[in-house]
Amino acid sequence: MSHENQRLRRLQDLGRIALELQSEAIADEANALAERAAEGRFYVACVGQFKRGKSSLINALVQAEILPTGTVPVTSVVTVLRHGPHVSARLRRAGSDWEEVRIEDLPEFVSEERNPGNSKGVIAVEVYSPAPLLETGLCFVDTPGLGSVFEANSEATRDFVPHVDAALVVFGADPPLSGEEADLVQQIARHVDTFIFVLNKADRVTERECDEAADFARRVLSQRLAQPIDPVYRVSALERTASGKPTRDWVRLEERLRSLALGSRTELVNGAVDRGLRRLGARLRNIIAEEEAALRSPLEETERRIQALHRASDDAALALWQLGPLFDAEMRRLGSTFEERRKAFIAGVLPEAQHTLSTQIRALPGRFGPALRAAAMARAKEVARGHVLPWLRNSEAEAAQEYRRATERFASIVNDLLQRLRSSDAWSQIPLPEEVGDDEALRGKSRFLFESFTHVESPAGFVPMVEWLGDVLLPKGLTLRRIERAASAYLEHMVVANAHRVENSIKQRLQDSRMRLESQIRFALKEVLEAAQRGLETARTIRGRGEDAVRAALARLDGLRQDLNRIA
């Protein structure tokens, strides 16, 4: 029997054990993993912040407008795009079987506008396409964007991370790679080794800005992953769709994806199976341990343990709830602190920057009309960059200090909760998060990087007809004054937009860290409570049949554990 068939057999056996333990959810996950492994399907997750054009990129790669796109956070449910004879879709809700949906109705279930926070309870969506790129077994996974205003969406992306076989990391130049995106890449790297980095929307910035954003991403990600980051594919999904032709690095990106499918498919699929066996095996061992404990101990003792579990769970819920007002207060404090800092910077730097810009515009040689306006806007960008970047870089240490100070104010509540849970006999075996502290405050990185300048699209490229005619027809002196005012307003806009980045980044980092920690704790509590309750109910039924039934049940559980140890 080949190694691949052995893995499939182990997954099937694990699914059988899960059914014997009445865990249909684990059995379903094992069977789904076995099915995709047998078909040689592997998941390439498209990840990044919202508005990076992830759905548009996937649509362009399969050359069909299948996934909904938009200018606001769109995707609310993780969606798998796989090969099929024709375009179709199906979905699964909690507690239900798969149901077919019309492709035109897909936004009703996967878009944030029509299914906010996944209020319709959709747990899986699969879309089929006859795209040649998908014939190799490659499946694209469209994920909700990180850092959107919809917290449930970001959480759905993180929950799907263990299922990812390779990651298509999508970022941009305006704004550049964010700390949250770098955190997610680092999190995915604990599960997979294969990354493809794409700078999308390359048509919206200059070549220089593209270079700077790609270099910045390489520098940050190589530090996070401790390995070289190369290449970064620069593409424009909208440009590819509109022109119907591959531009920039599009051909190289498609070749990389085909090479991944042809050269690494077996390795990626086997890796998915091995990860699944470890993950699902650990959950089944917990169920076995709970059922054995319930059978060996007096029912009253098991009931007391479950009551203790409920009390500890209530304590945990209360502690997490108490974080809310404290967290909100810290956010307000940080907002006030950095608002004052930002206003002071703008008030101090803007007059000097505007004077420098005015001097440079008046020194531009031999230009007039629209050419003068374009040159003035370019100078405005350079002047803004020269004044803002030093301030951003000086802000890194202060942002890190304020982040640590904020987390210290409520980390003690979380640490006290974790300590109480670990010291309780009821929770002693539960895989809770590590203690949080100064270095990994709330399990988030405390370092901030503001090494790049966020560009704002120049109005020179979209001058209304009236403005254009004025630049051409009005006297040179009047035209110069009009252009100076427009360039000065553009410079102010760029300075203000970039000055907001510090406070926005630290607020987002705090929110992201809190969500991640709460999710880990709640998942651990839910898993063990369900297992303990199920163990008690099973023990009560078996004990009603007599001692022989108890001994037989214990022998059965011991046999299942031995089977599980052999396969996972």
- The Cα 353–Cα 488 span in angstroms is 9
Q: What is the CATH number of domain 39-270?
A: 3.40.50.300
Q: Do 141 and 78 form a contact (C-beta atoms < 8 A)? A: yes
- One digit per residue, pLDDT tens: the chain, 568 residues? 577 788 888 999 999 999 999 888 889 889 989 998 999 999 998 888 767 888 889 999 988 888 776 533 444 577 889 999 999 999 888 777 889 989 888 888 877 677 776 678 787 889 999 999 999 899 998 876 543 323 334 455 556 777 889 989 888 877 778 777 787 788 778 778 889 999 999 888 888 888 888 888 888 888 888 888 878 999 999 899 988 889 899 999 999 999 998 888 889 999 889 989 998 998 899 889 888 888 888 878 878 877 877 777 777 777 777 777 777 777 788 778 888 888 898 999 899 999 998 999 888 876 677 788 888 888 888 898 888 888 877 777 777 777 777 766 666 666 666 666 656 555 544 444 544 443 343 444 445 555 555 555 555 555 555 565 666 666 777 777 887 888 888 888 888 877 877 777 777 666 666 666 676 667 667 777 777 788 888 888 888 888 899 899 999 999 999 999 988 7
**Helix 476-499, helix 299-362: angle, nearest 10:** 160
Q: Residue 326 has what DSSP assignment?
A: H
Is-contact 312 399, C-beta < 8 A? no
Q: Residue 356, Cβ neighbours under 10 Å: how many? A: 16
Cis peptide before 175 (omega within 30 of 0): yes
CA distance 404 to 441: 7
Asked whether 46 and 54 are in contact (CB, 8 A), the reply is: yes
**Tokens representing 71?**
């200018």
Q: What contacts 6, CB < 8 A, 6 or more positions away?
A: none
For the chain, the distance separating the N- and C-terminal CA atoms, rounded to the nearest angstrom, is 18
Nearest by Cα to 316 from 389, 250, 398, 413: 413
HSE-CB at 99 with a 13 A cutoff on CA atoms is 12
Tokens of 138: 């490659």
* Share of the chain residues as helix, strand and coil, in percent rounded to the nearest 5: 65, 10, 25
- Residue (of 277, 316, 296) closest to 535 by Cα position: 296
Across 57-115, where does the E strand assignment appear? Answer: 79-83, 88-93, 98-101
User: Letter for the amino acid at 161?
Assistant: V
**Cα 247 to Cα 235: distance, rounded to the nearest angstrom:** 7
> Which H or E element spans position 43?
strand 42-47
Report domain extents, the chain.
39-270, 301-526
Judge whether 122 and 29 are in contact, CB under 8 Å.
Answer: no
Spatial contact of 212 and 385, defined as CB atoms under 8 Å apart: no
Report d(CA 124, CA 272) in Å as an integer: 18
DSSP H helical ranges for 21-53: 24-38
Are the C-beta atoms of 499 and 362 separated by less than 8 Å?
Answer: no
DSSP 115: S
Sequence-ordered list of residues with C-beta below 8 angstroms from that of 326, at least 6 positions apart, any chain: 409, 410, 413
Q: Which amino acid is at 400?
A: A
Residue-wise DSSP of 196-207 = EEEE--GGGS-H
Residue type, 171: F
Place of tokens 């690494």: 264
Q: Which two tokens stand for residue 415?
A: 């640490």
**Residue 291: per-residue pLDDT:** 87
CA atoms within 13 A on the CB side of 388: 28
Alpha carbon 166 to chain centroid distance?
Answer: 14
Total-model pTM: 0.66
**Cβ partners under 8 Å of residue 191, min gap 6:** 161, 162, 164, 275
- Could you give the CA distance from residue 292 to residue 182 in angstroms, rounded to a whole number? 43
Strand-pair category, 166-171 with 42-47: parallel
- How far is C-alpha 347 from the chain's CA centre? 36
